[in-house]
Amino acid sequence: MKQNSIIKIVGISAYIVFILFSFINGFEPGKRIGENFITFSKGMLGVLPCAFILIGLFEVWVKRETVEKHFGEEAGIKRYVWAVLLAGTTVGGLYVAFPVAYSLYNKGAKLSFIFAYIGASAICRVPMTIFEASFMGIKFTAIRLLVSLPLVIISSILLGDYLEKRNYKIMKGK
């Protein structure tokens, strides 16, 4: 067995022992950690299977040429509009956005688009934006988006160009 596997097993085992110890001995912070883990896991299990089915269908049904046309080199500045629109509809947060981004990259999306999509997924998902506007106000949300989105796009262009000049490639999964 590899050393990485042993470290993972020991870490997971220590976590489980800590949670069990907390529930047995009434250690409140540990109990809350365990309860939060269960709540978070239920939320992930409600979203991830559907998201992965859709990503699988995307892999099979959408042609590489279509992705290259809208998100690749020939798309120009439109690809960033697409990145924001696609990111706004992403449900499930970044744990869904990363597999989508990887799939888009494998189908020919430019690195700068991938970075813009991930950044926009973190800041402008529709449900999150509506929730924020209801608590912070529409003016605050509009200002945040008007400041954040250009910064995300500019930084993604700079980072994408920098990495492409150095022939950076995202590694293939195992």
| Interval 32-74: pLDDT, tens | 999 999 998 898 888 888 888 988 898 889 888 888 888 887 7
**What is the domain range of residue 66?**
62-174
Instruction: Report CA Rg, the chain.
Output: 20
Do residues 137 and 71 both lie within one domain? yes
- Residue 93: CB atoms within 10 A of its CB come to 16
Distance linking the first and last C-alpha atoms of the chain: 18
How far apart CA 115 and CA 94 sit, in angstroms, is 12
Number of structural domains found in the chain: 2
- Do residues 41 and 94 both lie within one domain? no
- Look at phi and psi of residue 72 and say left if phi exceeds 0, alpha if psi is from -120 to 50, else beta: beta
Residue 51 in domain? no
| Of the candidates 71, 167, 62, the residue with the CA atom closest to the CA atom of residue 112 | 71
Measured distance CA(98)–CA(109) in Å, rounded = 14
- Per-residue pLDDT tens over the stretch 72-125: 877 788 889 999 998 988 877 788 889 889 999 988 888 999 999 999 999 988
In a domain, 54, yes or no: no
pLDDT at 136 over 60: yes
2 inside domain: yes
Nearest C-alpha neighbor of 37 from the set 4, 8, 12, 6: 12
Structure tokens at 135: 């608590």
- Is 97 a member of any domain? yes
pLDDT of residue 90: 83
Q: What is the pTM of this model?
A: 0.77
Domain identity same for 101 and 18: no
